[in-house]
Structure 1
Amino acid sequence: MRIRSVVVKGLFNEYDYELNLNPDLTFIHSPNGLGKSTISHMIYSILRGDKSYLEDIPFAKMVISFVDDSALIAEKSNGKLLFRMQKNRLESPLTDEELEGISDIIYLPPERLMITKKDGHVVNALESVAQELYESIRAAKDNVKLVPSTQEHREMNGSELEFWCKDLKAKLDFIKDAGFEPEIPTGMRFPPTRYDLIDDRAKYEDLAYSVSDYVENNYQFAESIIVYKDIINNIFLNKTIDVSENGKLIVSMNNGTSLPLNKLSSGETQILLMFYYILFHSGQDGVVIVDEPEISLHVSWQQLLGDYFGDICRVRKVQIIVATHSPQVIHDKWDLAIELVRKNA
């Protein structure tokens, strides 16, 4: 669920803020030390039910208002952290489990190069996401069998069914560009011809619903792969990324030289990580918070980010909140920027 506004009271026992966010892309900027990164992390922590981070932050109250006119309130009272949901003027307390279901949210902290696994081990982030991508692609390549659909069949005449099959085939072709495709049963073709539908409509209609399920399960992942490669290859200079036949992320210089991932520059690594998390970890109508995307990036690369963030907002239908010190990240999108203004001292 998208966020409409954020109100913070008593941050560091000193600041009050009110932030009215855009439904898609918002840049939040301020000088150092006013709480921009802290607020970003607080939003994420509240929506993930992470009390440990919030308990260490001095604040009185945070109110996150959503586009459906509901509001999530986190408040410290007598040293205790309380959560409640407000809707239609009614308030109800929330458990940690209920908090996690409110909004699909991911947070990209400034420290992105290393990540801590659930078992406590600290690992290289780029190696980790490359392995994650490999495993996901291998699973997609192995999952080629079409299974009977449980969808309820809708009424369609022959022309409507034929058109739907052609539309599904176009989506299958798009998925194939990402490196995987389903197996069409022996003796059948997809899309079927008009004569196929006349001769064996029921069989092809069942096939179409199975293909529809496959597309539903794989289209967004395929889209993420294709968009990811397009963005990275438009930004990188003198080198390109691709996904090998077996699902490995590979980097090649324009002269044909292969380059290990660990030989990329810090800025290139930041770009790979940032767009990977945004594309592969965000969901429809989710929220993405990117803290200090400018780290290690040349000014010319910083100026490209806003357009790509905006494109992802439209394609993936996510809300992206960017916390930045850099005017170059905002670039020509100051109409989407809000300043974190100190309300009191």
Structure 2
Amino acid sequence: MRIHKISVTNLFGIFNHSIPLNLDERITIIHGPNGFGKTILLRMLNGLFNSRYLELVTIPFSEFRVEFDEGSQLVVTQSIDKNPKAKKHPATLQLFDSRLSKSDKFQLIDVASDSKRFKQISQIIDTVIPEINRIDSTTWLHLPTHEQLSFEDVITRFGKFLPEQLGRINPEPNWLIDVKKSMPVRLIEAQRLLNLSNVLRGRGYTRISSSIASVAAYSEELAEHIQSKLAEYGELAQSLDRTFPARVVKTTAPSDLTAEKIHAKLREIEEKRYRLIAAGLLNQDEDPDFQVDRSIDDTAKSILSVYVEDVENKLRVFEELAQKIEILKRIINSRFCYKSISINKEKGFIFQAHDSKHLSPENLSSGEQHQLVMLYELLFKAQPNSLILIDEPELSLHVAWQAQFLKDLQEIAQLVNIDVLMATHSPDIISDRWDLTVELKGP
């Protein structure tokens, strides 16, 4: 199941937008003047498919509709009547599917008209987010920047750290859970250089403790991912080694298996090893290569055929990860001036300056960090068959990097099997692919 169209009615009480997604090319670009709702549309999609309903209902709109390629639709409706005396109704999420006898509904909350729920959420905000202090009942001070934030501002920035259940009245129904499982959605935000770490607990809720650089967090995460693959590799190796003698006894080498074919297979395996060593996944093997004698007997052929099959199965554990690392290294090393990246299985990213000095990921420029974070998100955090939302990919990127971004994105989309919807102001990002764009217009 894939999303093929999204639309919104009465956004901010003004805009009506309809965005068909380019499923053939897998990339859709929305552009338009500031204030027309590009980022908001991405937030709405992310809120809907990641149970961040509180973020969704704080945005004023009448109807938000998501249409899928197999004919079903998810529709969120809510009232944006600003008359305080008017009767308010909770926002409603509804699935329309011709295969169902009736459409199902799921009620969300209306924070603006529910003073008790507003007070509850405000108290949780004070508990969970230490970076802000309450000024009055509806305003907070953001301590790092000294900005005054409204309730909507707080939800926009920190809503993903609040408990999911705050935005709904009842538990999610099975039909909604099934839809979201079949259509993963991930947002790469414009503010992507900092990660908020959650390690403290307060009143039963996870509390934000600190901000760390995303590049540092992802470097550590990649190292953990490699260690996990190495553990999987080790478990498989132990299993295969333990059963190797029994399988050799039972195996008869194919009659057409020659010494030349075995040698070719062994060379192919060595090439895979070198590739994995270059990717930082395996250590350099000090064992010398060996040649297969042309006169080997059938017993030796049987042993070598099982050995070759086992090694291929072991190395296959790393195949997907190696592909992603190779793309990451190739793009980064072709973009960064006077710096190169390598991957270390204990440390993650290793950067080296032209004078051979090592740099920590946090010492990269903001443009380099933006490039690295986006590539990592796309390659390592996107699930297959998902929709990835990218807000302002051009931030801090040199014009030459912007011009190359779409080509890199197309390659990654094919490899990871994802659809992409991005919002941009940059004609350099779009380059000559205006056929992929949808312009947001005024009323």
Q: TM-score range by the shorter chain?
A: 0.7 to 0.9
- SS of corresponding position for 1:129: helix
Partner of 2:49: 47
Letter in 1 for 2:319: Y
Give the AA of the match of 1:138: Q
Pair 1:330-2:430 in alignment: yes
* Contact kept in structure 2, 1:46 and 1:99, CA below 8 Å: no
Q: Does 1:60 align with 2:62?
A: yes
- CA deviation after TM superposition for structure 1 residue 211, in Å: 4.6
Whether contact under 8 Å (1:144, 1:181) holds in the other structure is no
SS at structure 1 position matched to 2:18? strand
Q: Corresponding residue for 1:102? A: 182
Q: Computing the radius of gyration over CA atoms, which structure comes out larger, 1 or 2? A: 2
User: What is residue 32 of structure 1 aligned with on the other side?
Assistant: 34
Write the distance in 2 (CA, Å) between the matches of 1:237 and 1:74. 47
**Displacement of 1:171:** 5.7
Matched, 1:221 2:321: yes
Residues 1:11 and 2:111 aligned together: no
Secondary structure at the aligned position of 2:95 is classed as: strand
Matches within 5 A, 1:1-345: 1-23=1-23, 24-67=26-69, 69-77=70-78, 78-88=89-99, 92-93=103-104, 94-95=173-174, 97-118=177-198, 119=206, 120-121=208-209, 122-145=211-234, 146=237, 169=269, 174-180=275-281, 208=309, 211-212=312-313, 215=316, 217-244=317-344, 246-342=346-442, 344=443
C-alpha distance in structure 1 between counterparts of 2:346 and 2:418, whole Å: 30
Q: 2: distance between equivalents of 1:90 and 1:56?
A: 32
Tell me if structure 2 keeps the 8 A contact 1:2–1:66. yes
**Alpha-carbon offset, residue 247 of structure 1:** 3.9
Distance 1:134 1:147, change over 3 A: same
Q: What are structure 2's unaligned runs of at least 5 residues?
A: 79-88, 105-172, 199-205, 241-252, 284-289
TM value normalised by structure 2: 0.65
Shift of 1:107: 0.8
The answer (yes or no) to whether the contact 2:227–2:345 under 8 Å persists in 1 is no
If the length of structure 1 is used for normalisation, what is the TM-score?
Answer: 0.81
More moved, 125-134 vs 84-93: 84-93
Q: Deviations over 1:187-218 (max 9, x none)?
A: xx9x9x99798767599569837854762x43
* Alpha-carbon separation, structure 2, partners of 1:129 and 1:328: 27
Q: Kindly tell me: are residues 80 and 180 of structure 1, through their superposed partners in 2, closer, same or farther at Cα, counting changes over 3 Å?
A: same
Question: Which stretch shows the higher mean deviation, 227-236 or 54-63?
Answer: 54-63
Distance in 2 (CA, whole Å) between partners of 1:196 and 1:2 is: 55
Structure 1 unpaired stretches of 5+: 150-155, 183-188
Alpha carbons 1:12, 1:57 under 8 Å: kept:
yes
* 2:165 aligned partner: none
The Cα shift of 1:279 comes to: 0.5
Deviation at 1:38, TM superposition (A): 0.5
Please give the root-mean-square deviation of Cα atoms over the aligned residues, in Å.
3.7
Higher relative contact order (CA 8 A, sep 6+): 1
Q: 1:199 to 1:7 in 2, by over 3 A?
A: same
Identity rate of aligned residues, in percent?
24
Q: How many residues align?
A: 332
Residue 182 of structure 2: SS of its match in structure 1?
A: coil
More moved, 15-24 vs 167-176: 167-176
Contact 1:63-1:71 at 8 Å conserved across structures: no
